[in-house]
Structure 1
């Protein structure tokens, strides 16, 4: 249930150990699936006679007591079993566990180059086998990549091994499109962000996207309080009746200490997509304040005594102390104007942005793989790693923000902000937002009397 008013309880630890998922989920901790592929169970609403809160109970099929799970198959003559790979498992142990005794199969799997993906067994991935009525192997599948993102959408990849008519075996990599659906969920924070997400069945990747999108509004390390709550609409992918991965976060409403923060994904007919608040204002400002996720300022903009040469000199940027190897991200969309070594700056990247704006990132240990002069980069894209090359006494990022080649203080200057949607785009956005809000309407209503954060 969504909270009312501000909370005075202490901050929560985002990394606090996650509780084990309960067999049923109380109001506010529920996931609804809106799509086509089959789910493992059904959602039941229990109406108590007393004025207690509604209980939402997730009912799922109990697993078989054996190590294997028998699956349905299109081939009525086949018996399909599945086992999940555990840490320390070997191919021999897995085949024995599945009662597969095909002569020469183990030797084929460990030596044939076409079966190389089965050389490495990933704990948590699955192995499937189909046997005929006489116990003969029809096929063996190792689902090494149950889900991956590609330009055309989510896909599932697996290795399929089949008998070759008494001549041995054949192995071939297979790919199939994962089916997309939309899920909606809500949760209330009692111990930690990930603990609430786990109880509501929200994938970690969606939780991380939410924290990244609202990171400029909420400090997820210090600002969370018990009773904070959120609702999300997100993409999910399934293959052969099983959920195999999560896609993009589509919409979120997060109530933090009584304030509502909103975001919705929108891609107009012409232009790239991005996240907007529910008033249609972009959450992706033209520039981020910092190029590092977690850091501290070790030297500010202005005059200082130079740590290497001594004497007072103008410091034309801001230094962010961070361990060597810390990822550096572009603070705005731009083009690589310079990448290489530059005197006292050491390994340096200069990005050219719209108008007269440029940014400089110095003292890097190394650059992002494949990055070249003239490449286009997006805001938040990895461009390099913190180091201590050039005139540096320790690992840190020297960051400069320049207007018409003149360095200004990035901590105090009024940074350009992204434009709001124009009239035709606004009309499209309103229609998209309405569909997200219809999904939210399937959940418990948000708390009344909460304050919408300033936009």
Structure 2
């Protein structure tokens, strides 16, 4: 076995091989010269090839020898002892100091497994669980829950800290056989903020970057502006949005964000706005600047991902074979597709209704009713139950006189069947009186916040046309028809 120390011997062997190769090449060349007149064309080609290879080897081998000679010599590693810093007096004596360890619960972890990982005895765990509050809070740990352990160098748990709820923290102090509980209030602050941004490449990405939650984004696209903006085709990268929300902060950490309180969306220079407001005795909903609800009274199509398969009017019945009036419209869809309530209503009928099969009839008030037939099954509803718009009331099927899975949908006004595709839907009731006055004040304040922020962020952009305070007041006082 050769080491780096026999370098001269290796070089000598390379030189000897080189001389042999050179002599062989010269000898072959002489033989070629002497017998050239008797060689064929193929022999001439072979001779040239051998000569070229010899020259190449004569050039490469010395270079390779040089590379081998210049390999670095591996030096032995040296290990130096380093002195560790001394423990502070507090830690060495087990006094309160910097001995807190914060642990975040992982999926599948229990309090017992956490204690075992930290080297805390089972006896200590049993003492802690004798406290009723601790047992209720710590035996149902969710992933992501944070627990803090005060573990001095002595190894015995001194204090366990956990959050009982969003506003209170519990500290359990262990001294001997006693466990003392201390309840600490966690102060939080709520701020009303305006979050603004441009659509860019992705509305969802830009909105999240601006600070909006997934629920906030869904409110913009599926609740507030879904009737006025087509989010699949209308948006450009320069279109912008501004949203007013309440953010709750605790100990420097954002812990919650409220639903959207107000929002504006500028699309192709046109300003759209929506404001959250609760009528007396009703749930909050979104209104235009003029005080009209953004939510339409009825949904045109109470079933997603469906195809219109039969229109309103006279037709040949697919089962009976006779010409009959088709008093509704049919939407073909796969079995199990959810069916939604077309508007806010109460259940007037639920059950089996002759050729309609499994059927639900909803009463929307003011003489308006809707019927949904041929369901595979209905949702768990009861007669007289209040049903908000968009609630799933059943699922597509083929019950009754039906040739395939579809929804049969009827729209009636004072008992008379009307074409759901062409009827002018009744407008939602606007705010009026004292509610409109209160709404006017709220809207003016929200718009002022949004404009202040947008004037700072988009100072170099011509602002979208927006009503002045005087114009806005007039518009709110005398709502315009849509």
Q: Is contact 2:197-2:210 (8 Å) kept?
A: yes
The corresponding residue for 2:148 is 129
Q: Deviations over 1:299-352 (max 9, x none)?
A: 322234444444443222222334444433322222111112222322221111
- Greater shift, 407-416 or 342-351, is seen at 342-351
**Pairing 1:184–2:194 present:** yes
> 2:292 maps to what in 1?
281
1:207, CA displacement in angstroms?
Answer: 0.4
2:233 counterpart of 1:222: yes
Distance 2:323 2:187 in 1: 62
Whichever structure has more strand as a proportion of its residues is: 1
Task: List gaps (5 residues or longer) in structure 1.
Answer: 1-75, 144-154
TM-score w.r.t. structure 2 length? 0.63
Change (3 A) 1:258 1:335: same
Cα gap change, 1:293 to 1:243, in 2 (>3 Å) = farther
Tell me, yes or no, if the aligned pair for 1:78 and 1:130 is still in contact at 8 Å. Answer: no
Match of 1:11?
none
Post-superposition shift, 1:374? Answer: 0.8
| Distance (Å, rounded) in 2 between the aligned partners of 1:119 and 1:286 | 44
Matches of 1:268 and 1:169 in 2, distance apart?
51
SS in 2 for 1:400: strand
Ranked by relative contact order (alpha carbons within 8 Å, sequence separation 6 or more), the top structure is: 1
Change (3 A) 1:367 1:141: farther
The residue that corresponds to 2:258 in the other structure is: 247
User: Structure 1: how far apart are the matches of 2:404 and 2:141?
Assistant: 39
**Alignment CA distance shift 1:118-1:127 (3 Å):** farther
Corresponding position of 1:353: 364
Contact 2:158–2:175 under 8 Å retained in 1:
no
Q: Give the 3 Å change call, closer, same or farther, for CA 440–191 of structure 1 in structure 2.
A: same
Q: Measure the CA separation in 2 of the matches of 1:166 and 1:390.
A: 75
Identify the residue that residue 403 of structure 1 maps to in structure 2.
413
Q: Does 1:440 align with 2:450?
A: yes
Shift of 1:108: 10
1:178-201 Cα shifts (integer Å, max 9, x gaps): 865423201211222211112112
1:45-444 → structure 2 map (5 Å cutoff): 81-86=101-106, 90-91=109-110, 95=114, 99=118, 101-103=120-122, 121-122=142-143, 125-131=144-150, 136=157, 138-139=159-160, 141=162, 156=166, 180-212=190-222, 213-239=224-250, 241-269=252-280, 272-369=283-380, 371-444=381-454
SS in 2 for 1:353: strand
Contact kept? 2:335, 2:405, Cα under 8 Å: yes
Rg comparison, structure with higher value: 2
Following the alignment from structure 2 to structure 1, what is the Cα–Cα distance between the partners of residues 275 and 353?
41
Question: Which whole-Å CA distance do the structure 2 matches of 1:452 and 1:317 have between them?
Answer: 42
Unaligned ranges ≥5, structure 2:
1-95, 468-480
**Higher helix proportion, which one?**
2
**Stretch moving more, 224-233 or 408-417:** 224-233
In the alignment, is the contact (CA less than 8 A) between 2:159 and 2:174 conserved in 1?
Answer: no
- The TM-score normalised by the length of structure 1 is 0.66
Q: Does the CA-based 8 Å contact 2:311-2:328 persist in structure 1? A: yes
Q: Deviations over 1:113-135 (max 9, x none)?
A: 9659855744xx33222426565
| In structure 2, C-alpha distance between the alignment counterparts of 1:176 and 1:403, rounded to whole Å | 56
